[in-house]
Amino acid sequence: QQTNQVNSCIFMQFTPNMQQPLILLEQTDNNVINSYFLPKGPWMISGNGVLFHIKGRTKTILHDFNIQVCGDAFYVDGQILVHQKNTNQLMSVDITDFSISQFHDITLSSYYGDYQKFYVHQNVVFFSNQQNTLSSYNIQTEQLKLFDYPYCWFVFGYLDRLCIGHWTDTWCISAVQVAPKALDLKFTIQSGAYVDFSSNQLGFNRVSDELFDFAEDDEKAIEINFNQFQKVYHHAAGSTFFWFKGPRIAQYIKHQQKLRQSDHYLNIEHRNAFQQETDHMSEPGAIYVPITDTVKDDGFKIEKTSMAEQVTKLLHKSCEDQEKLGFISQHLEEVDFRDYENESLKLKCGIVKLLAEQPKALGLCKSVVFIEAVMRYKQKAE
């Protein structure tokens, strides 16, 4: 087994004395994976079933399902899949009206109850069933499969990778790649020790006192300080223990863009209808909770000024388009381009040229308007 120092270009670990504009989250606040391109995404869900998102310094409560939720939820084609903890049923939430029902009569394993028990890859749901065996359900074909991973006690993943906890003569944790007809084993960690971060952390998981990147092709333990961990809000990763940056975030957002293009609710021809269906999320029915300056017992502080506030202040000044464009060019990876969709044509053209020249910034862009404009701009340039 190899041991590496943590790669600082992938993420930065939080420590109590960090001077960052942090938004602290509860330990039971988890993600709605693949919700990056939903309105004001990514969305998150609390352990007691409160669906919310964060924009600037405001937490917006979209709906309170009043159920106990285990681990991460997943968005897929107009619905959110949620593990209801007390019944272990896999539930489906319709995002247009928040109605909730059991998803195709699937009940998840109760084995080691608090661990993540399912993962969605494209249109396939991988899960540990009632018999504690790894299974998959294809949403399009309705085909159910069983895999040779008995006593399956957790399932999580990142992109096309699965991390499976199971028993084979001893407790094992296997990293596999989802192939068209099979699961391609990459490596297995044999360990009876505990696992932490069992929900999604963009491919990272803790096994005993070591950190592993399950997006890698081989087993490499990463040295890290486990004495202090705090969940915080990240503009792309959502609820996370790590401040992801650089290649990992660009890779993740590129994957989200591919999912958006194939999604019935989020693709171009359905975007307007989808927006009308979700208008109620910004109406008085939603609850807006200002995030105030607080200091928690762990020493983390939420600072007053965030990048979103800086952008908002700038937009309300009577400054010239060139000044705004200069600000954007200096903060390409931090601004939310959706805030600029209603600006002047001159400024929007400048932003399009800027994004066309900066592929990394385009990969972080959440604005469908600007993404499509850049595509048209590049096509004309060719």
**Which pLDDT does position 293 carry in this prediction?**
37
**Which pLDDT does position 207 carry in this prediction?**
82
Where are any strands of DSSP class E within 6-49? 11-13, 30-33, 43-45
DSSP H or E stretch at residue 5: strand 2-5
**Which pLDDT does position 380 carry in this prediction?**
64
Q: DSSP of 76-97, one letter per residue?
A: ETTEEEEEETTTTEEEEEETTT
**Which pLDDT does position 279 carry in this prediction?**
42
Give φ, ψ of 314 to 5 degrees. -65, -40
**Which pLDDT does position 308 carry in this prediction?**
40
Task: Give the pLDDT confidence of 7-32 residue by residue, as tens digits.
Answer: 433 444 444 444 456 788 888 999 99
Task: Give the pLDDT confidence of 33-63 residue by residue, as tens digits.
Answer: 999 888 888 999 999 999 999 987 788 999 9
For the entire predicted model, the pTM comes to 0.70
Question: Which residue positions in the chain have pLDDT lower than 70?
Answer: 1-21, 191-194, 198-199, 224-228, 244-246, 267-320, 379-382
Specify which residues 234 forms β-bridges with: 238
**Which pLDDT does position 315 carry in this prediction?**
39
**Which pLDDT does position 311 carry in this prediction?**
39
**Which pLDDT does position 161 carry in this prediction?**
93
CA distance 342 to 345: 9
Strands 204-207 vs 73-76: parallel, antiparallel or unpaired: unpaired
Sketch out the chain's domains with CATH numbers: 2-247 (2.120.10), 305-382 (no CATH)
Q: Label residue 196 exposed, middle or buried (CB < 10 Å: 0-12, 13-18, 19+).
A: middle
The terminus-to-terminus CA distance of the chain in angstroms comes to 48
